[in-house]
Chains A and B, each alone.
Chain A
Amino acid sequence: MNQQSVDAGWEVVIGLEIHAQLATRSKIFSSSPTAYGAAPNSQANLVDLGYPGVLPVLNREAVRMAVKFGLATGSTIARRSVFARKNYFYPDLPKGYQISQYELPIVAKGTLDILLEDGSIKTIGITRAHLEEDAGKSTHEGLGAASGIDLNRAGTPLLEIVSEPDLRGAKEAVAYLKKIHTLVRYLEICDGNMQEGSFRCDANVSVRRFGAELGTRCEIKNVNSFRYVEKAINYEVVRQIDVLEGGGKIVQETRLYDSAKDETRPMRSKEEANDYRYFPDPDLLPVELAEDFIETVRATLPELPDEKADRFCSAYGLSRYDALVLTSGRDLADYYESVVRAAGGIPAAKLAANWVMGDFSGALNRDNLEVATARVSTDLLAGLLARIQDDTISGKIAKEVFESMWADGASADAVIEAKGLKQITDTGAIEAAIEAVMAANPGQLAEYRSGKDRLFGFFVGQTMKATAGKANPAQLNDLLKRMLAP
């Protein structure tokens, strides 16, 4: 199979089902805590274990979070939604049914705008978002022929966000997934931790000839990183096209992505699929939401990523791209704005943007840190920017200063002082250095003066070297131009 076939007149159609674990303290239908990583079955009470006679009681906080998501995506909030039972047998599903929402979900018909690679905006439809409980986990390691069941996760609240089949490729799918990821963290309804499974997705993938009816789809289950989503979809697209071009047919099935082998494999086919026998859960009353409840939730909505990006463009004069990068996380955006404020406001906005997106974000990624745990505070970074703005140091020296600050949390001034990195702005000193360079390189000087302009850079480099990089670049430029002139 080969990547080229993707381009041969096939259209890729993708819809995502995202499971976002809601950041409630207790489970959706019981009072057990939801914290991750506890000893197996230590966070499962009788309700989570599905004991005879116990009953579910809905966690209001989960409802509030679902409504928050619905409002943030311009969705319709159902004034009446209904929990239904999805029936199937599995050892990690204690009751033999999962409580979910089926015909009447709490959130429906929303939209989300994503930025495409060509810079255009595409609106993706959100079909629905419904509340449901998570299942437990089966473990097969270290137990011989037996399997272990850990029900700590059973009953954890999930918001399942289902998109329309509006996505036209792996890159779009990832852009949408990242956007939802950003949004749920902005809303503080999900911690977005993909490794711990708090944010995961199933991808429904099909291909068709342009203009044709929708093709048969396959569902790739439980992919838990942005990179794997892209790889899994790309693999699946190529596989489907190869099957169709070879005269075969796509079988509707559930597939699993194996990241080690970078391939998808069938999990179960439609014939083996369960008939889930959904019906309204008689243990739970329909969820009826009053207008004032919805309005109370609306009042708690933060500035959303798109709104924030718009504001960053207009208030700080940033490019669309920079604004989107800076608003991709609420903490990063807040950090950026604090830096701008501390560095003197609008005039520092672009410089601050470059530094927050560049060296600061780079260091975070490299050291796998969060904004909150970075040692360079907003005040410290603003202090560094001030020294760039007042020409104490050049941008290049500033990078060196930043690394020292990152390592030990010192202020820019302290680092500049300790390392003697203060910029040379004394014209006489720079002229002396230039004269020495001219004297040491008569050949190059003659060539330059006879018209070889390209050698200008050579003289910049040599003079910088002579001043240990501390010469003010702008001044150096001016002086060089004048002194090198024939």
Chain B
Amino acid sequence: MSLHTLSVAELSAGLARKDYSAVELTQHFLDRISLSNPVLNAYVTITAERALADARAADASRAAGTAGVLTGIPVAQKDIFCTDGIRTTCGSRMLDNFVAPYDSTVVERLSAAGTVLLGKTNMDEFAMGSSNETSWYGPVRNPWDHSKVPGGSSGGSAAVVAARLAPVATGTDTGGSIRQPAALVGISGIKPTYGRVSRYGMIAFASSLDQAGIMAPSAADCALFLQTIAGFDPRDSTSVDRPVADYAAELTTPVKGLRIGIVKEFFERGLEGPTGALVNAVLEQYRALGAELVEVSCPSLPLSVPTYYVVAPAECSSNLSRFDGVRFGHRCENPRDLMDLYKRSRGEGFGAEVKRRIMTGTYVLSAGYYDAYYLKAQKVRSLITAEFKAAFTKVDLLIGPTSPTPAFDLGAKVDDPITMYLNDIYTIGANLAGLPAMSIPCGFDGHLPVGVQLIGPHFGESRLLSAAHAYQSVTDFHRRIPAAYV
């Protein structure tokens, strides 16, 4: 049986035809997980019992005639989404013992749609990292090459989809955490417009940048799942009350006449190698499909990394203050006094990268430095947003690479945070401007996959998905599965 090679639409049709039950489908993935997870380390928690219970409920719902498109489809949740009664670690020792008392909106909506929860996926600690190596639970391995990283922070979600240990996974993207790992493992990943998906119940890293999205082999799979999680949520003040487009119906909108902007700044530096060539081939493919290619410029874009590394740590330094050992999470043994409780609980509970960002963030917000760092970064952020906005008056979508290089060796960059941070050079801009963006596989550099990035205007998810789908209709990179996991 090769159920794991089918798309979400095919699985849905199979379930509807009763070719297999949701329980059988779920068991198939649980078997694959128990076989491969020990090597990949992609799931932190496997919720086998819950999955089978969900599957039985899905089968019952189908028998009762109340099943929807996603009823019975298994899904993996990034361990940043709170799941009622299930441990939610955020990849941190701090939350190793934390059982969430409620469901995040994303989890709630996917449960309501009848999906089956396979487990919670590994991730960089508090989503801070680009290689999944900052996780308290150890690094995730790239299914294409176990000596390589899967990218991060949604590295576990990326790996489970690439190795087909789940048909679909959720991710979150603060500076590229969906797109970069999607590129590094050869799958599709979409980060929607900021405010399109509720952040309620998603453990915050940098609130003004965090956005939940979907990781799956194809844009078509992403469309079906995004449909379910998108939409206004009164529990998140930053979620936007605006109708959600019918992504599946609009998926086949043709590319002909689409104006695609080639962002000059994306192609200026460090794209001499195979990644550059592969991305250029994508441009040719779109031209062949009838798209019009236009060069555009966002001159402030090169400032996005330093801007991000002021704004994101500033917000995280405040967001992570609630982890104080008092009400939940890690608490040190025998605190002498309050200060000792704070210092040791936090000192023991957080890893090095999280501490580095908390300290950076505390510094940039402190008296006397606020204007020079935080305020200036916000100004650059406005500038970048305005430049993107101007670009979208000329074109419908923007295109560029997702990551400067394919997957790198485990351990290669752990001691060099600056080099690590530069992994996000192409992805951060969309977060700063709140734009929807997506990475899709576009070929291989040797045996390692490479991704290309599409960026849309605010609430342009539908256009992103249909452009990606058009490309995937004439290519098969998204269907490639690492040999060990076929």
Which residues of A are in contact with B by a Cβ distance under 8 Å?
Answer: 46, 49-58, 85, 87, 89, 91, 94-97, 149, 275, 277-279, 282-285
Name 29 interchain pairs, CB-CB below 8 A, sorted by A.
A46-B101, A50-B322, A51-B102, A51-B322, A51-B327, A52-B323, A52-B329, A53-B82, A53-B100, A53-B104, A53-B202, A55-B235, A55-B237, A87-B365, A89-B321, A91-B324, A94-B326, A94-B327, A96-B321, A96-B324, A277-B318, A277-B362, A279-B314, A279-B315, A279-B318, A282-B206, A282-B208, A282-B315, A283-B207
Q: Is the CB of A275 within 8 A of B367?
A: yes
Contact residue among A57, A96, A282, A283 (Cβ-Cβ distance under 8 Å from B234): A57
C-alpha gap A87/B324 in the complex (Å): 13
Which secondary structure characterizes the binding site on chain B?
Answer: loop
Q: A289 to B356, alpha carbons, bound, how many Å?
A: 39
Bound Cα distance A50, B322 (Å): 7
Q: Are A52 and B322 in contact (CB under 8 A)?
A: yes
Asked if B403 lies at the interface with its beta carbon under 8 angstroms from chain A, I say no
Establish whether residues A52 and B203, one from each chain, have CB atoms under 8 Å apart when the complex forms: yes
Chain B, interface size category, equals 35 or more
Q: Which residues of A contact B370 (CB under 8 A)?
A: 277, 279
By a beta-carbon cutoff of 8 Å, the part of chain B in contact with chain A is: 81-82, 88, 90, 95, 98, 100-102, 104, 199-204, 206-208, 234-238, 314-315, 317-318, 320-324, 326-329, 338, 342, 362, 365-367, 370, 374
Nearest first, the 7 A-B pairs at minimum CB distance are A96-B321, A282-B208, A282-B207, A277-B365, A53-B201, A50-B322, A52-B203
Closest to B88 in A: A52
* Complexed CA–CA distance, A84 and B302 (Å): 29
The 8 Å CB contact of A284, one of B204, B237, B317, is: B237
Distance from B361 Cβ to chain A, minimum over Cβ atoms (Å): 9
B residues in contact with A285, CB < 8 Å: 237-238
Q: Which residues of A contact B201 (CB under 8 A)?
A: 53-54
Q: Which residues of A contact B95 (CB under 8 A)?
A: 52
CB-defined contacts of A96 to chain B, threshold 8 Å: 318, 320-322, 324
B326 with A46: CB separation less than 8 A: no
In whole Å, how far is A471's beta carbon from the nearest beta carbon of chain B?
A: 75
Say whether B100 contacts A52, CB under 8 Å: yes
Contact indicator B322/A283 (Cβ below 8 Å): no
Asked if residues B207 and A52 are in contact (CB atoms below 8 Å), the reply is no
Closest chain A residue to B315 by CB distance?
A282
A-B contact count (CB 8 A): 97
Q: A275 vs B365: C-alpha distance in the bound complex, in angstroms?
A: 9
A95 touches B203 (CB 8 A): no
B-chain residues with CB within 8 Å of residue A54 when the two chains form the complex: 200-201
Establish whether residues B237 and A57, one from each chain, have CB atoms under 8 Å apart when the complex forms: yes
In the assembled complex, the Cα of A284 lies from the Cα of B208 at a distance in Å of: 10
B200–A55 contact, CB under 8 A?
yes
Give Cα A251 to B446, complex, Å.
69
Q: Kindly list chain B residues whose C-beta atoms are within 8 Å of the C-beta of A56.
A: 237
Q: Which residues of A contact B322 (CB under 8 A)?
A: 50-52, 94-96
Interchain CA distance A46-B320 in the complex, whole Å: 16
Since A52-B329, A96-B321, A283-B237 are in contact, a sample of 19 more A-B pairs with Cβ atoms closer than 8 Å, ordered by chain A residue number, is A46-B101, A51-B101, A51-B102, A52-B204, A53-B204, A54-B200, A55-B200, A55-B237, A56-B237, A57-B234, A57-B236, A91-B326, A96-B318, A96-B320, A277-B366, A277-B367, A277-B370, A279-B314, A282-B315
For residue B88, which residues in chain A have a CB less than 8 angstroms away from its CB?
Answer: 52
Nearest A-chain residue to B199, judged by Cβ: A55
Does the CB pair A91–B318 fall under 8 Å? Answer: no
What is the minimal beta-carbon distance from B308 to any residue of chain A, in angstroms?
14
Q: How many angstroms between the C-alpha atoms of A310 and B321 in the bound complex?
A: 52
Q: How far is the CA of A54 from the CA of B198 in the complex (A)?
A: 11
Residue from the list B90, B314, B327 in contact with A49, Cβ < 8 A: B327
Taking CB as reference atom, which chain A residue is nearest B367?
A275
Q: How far is the CA of A241 from the CA of B82 in the complex (A)?
A: 58
In the bound complex, what is the Cα–Cα distance between A313 and B367 (angstroms)? 52
A279 to B88, CA, bound (A): 28
Which A residues are CB-close (under 8 A) to B374?
A: 279
Residues of chain A within 8 A of B323, CB atoms compared? 52
- Closest Cβ of chain B to A70, distance in Å, is 22
The residues of A that contact B100 with a CB separation of less than 8 Å are 52-53
Please measure, in the bound complex, the distance between the C-alpha atom of A277 and the C-alpha atom of B365, giving whole angstroms. 5
* Distance in Å: Cβ of B210 to nearest Cβ of chain A: 9
Tell me the smallest distance from the CB of B165 to a CB of chain A, in Å: 25
> A279–B362 Cα gap in the complex (Å)?
11
Bound CA span A255–B257, Å: 71
Determine the chain B residues whose CB is within 8 A of the CB of A149 once the complex forms. Answer: 326
Q: Give the complex CA separation of A406 and B419 in angstroms.
A: 84
With a CB–CB cut-off of 8 A, which chain A residues contact B328? 51-52
CB distance from A137 to the nearest CB of B (A): 14
Q: CA separation between A279 and B365, bound complex, in Å?
A: 7
Q: Which of A50, A52, A275 contacts B90 (CB 8 A)?
A: A52
Q: Which residue of A lies closest to B329 (CB)?
A: A52
Which residues of chain B come closer than 8 Å to A97, judged between CB atoms?
A: 318, 321
User: Roughly how many angstroms separate A275 CA and B318 CA in the complex, as a whole number?
Assistant: 13
For A50, A149, A278, A279, the residue with the greatest tally of chain B CB atoms inside 10 Å of its CB is: A279
Bound Cα distance from A49 to B102, whole angstroms: 13
Q: Is the CB of A95 within 8 A of B237?
A: no
User: What is the bound-complex CA distance between A277 and B235, given in angstroms?
Assistant: 26
Nearest residue, chain A, Cβ from B126: A52
**Interfacial chain B residues near A282, Cβ < 8 Å:** 206-208, 238, 315
Give the Cβ gap from B399 to chain A, nearest Cβ, in Å: 29
Residues of A within 8 A of B362 (CB): 277
Given contacts A50-B322, A96-B321, A277-B366, A91 and B208 within 8 Å (CB-CB)? no
Cβ distance A203 to chain B, nearest Cβ, rounded Å: 25
Interface-centre pick from A52, A55, A57, A89 (highest chain B CB count, 10 A): A52
For residue A28, give the distance in angstroms from its CB to the closest CB of chain B: 12
Chain B residue, CB-CB nearest to A29: B237
Question: Which chain A residues lie closer than 8 Å to B236 at the CB level?
Answer: 55, 57
